[in-house]
Amino acid sequence: MIKELCKDILFLSKKAEDATKNDLQVAQDLLDTLKHHEAGCVGMAANMIGVNKKIIAVCTNDGMIAMINPKIVYKSDETYETEEGCLCHEGARPVTRYKKIKVEYLNMKFQHKTKTFTDFPAQIIQHEMDHLEGILI
Ligand SMILES: [Zn+2]
């Protein structure tokens, strides 16, 4: 179900809690909401739809996926400076991102996955995982 976007900075600044199987509907809502905003948005974190759980939805080279309880287990030495925008606030802000990351997460079937991402998909994941930490760029 497409959800309203949360723009409450106080809520968005909270650290997200671990998600459980009971939160699978939240992951589905997040995918639906991201799909709805696809034209102007490449990723979304659950707190952006008002749920303080560790779930993100991102556009990757293999299409749109949800990641539950994602954890970055490897970061490349190589970083780069870029600018990012966000549906939660106006304008673009400067950030430093790792070029390559390896992420452990649970998929929609609650199966453990480990995947390596580079460049733009890696950047989207880092941005959304910042949201889970309550960090707004
Ligand atoms: Zn954002």
Residues of the domain holding 14 = 9-132
Judge whether 25 lies within some domain. Answer: yes
75-78 contacts: CB < 8 A, separation 24 or more? 75/100, 75/101, 76/100, 76/101
Q: Which residues pair with 83 in a beta bridge?
A: 94
Question: Against a cut of 0.85, is the pTM above it?
Answer: yes
Token representation of residue 80: 């780069």
8 Å CB contact between 104 and 71: yes
Judge whether 118 lies within some domain. Answer: yes
Judge whether 3 lies within some domain. Answer: no
Position 20 scores a pLDDT of 98
8 Å CB contact between 53 and 83: no
| 86 alpha carbon – ligand 1 mean position (Å) | 4
Judge whether 1 lies within some domain. Answer: no
8 Å CB contact between 65 and 44: no
> What string of pLDDT tens digits covers the 137 residues of the chain?
999 999 899 999 999 999 999 999 999 999 999 999 988 889 999 999 999 999 999 999 889 999 999 999 999 999 999 999 888 777 788 999 999 999 999 999 999 999 999 999 999 999 999 999 999 87
Task: Please identify which residue in the block is written with the tokens 């968005």.
Answer: 12
Position 40 scores a pLDDT of 86
Tally of structural domains, the chain: 1
Residues involved in catalysis = 128
Judge whether 21 lies within some domain. Answer: yes
| 3-class SS of residue 46 | helix
Judge whether 137 lies within some domain. Answer: no
| 136 alpha carbon – ligand 1 mean position (Å) | 7
* Region class of 47: left (phi > 0), else alpha (psi between -120 and 50), else beta: alpha
| 121 alpha carbon – ligand 1 mean position (Å) | 14
Provide the CATH number for the domain around residue 66. 3.90.45.10
| 133 alpha carbon – ligand 1 mean position (Å) | 12
| 45 alpha carbon – ligand 1 mean position (Å) | 8
Position 58 scores a pLDDT of 97
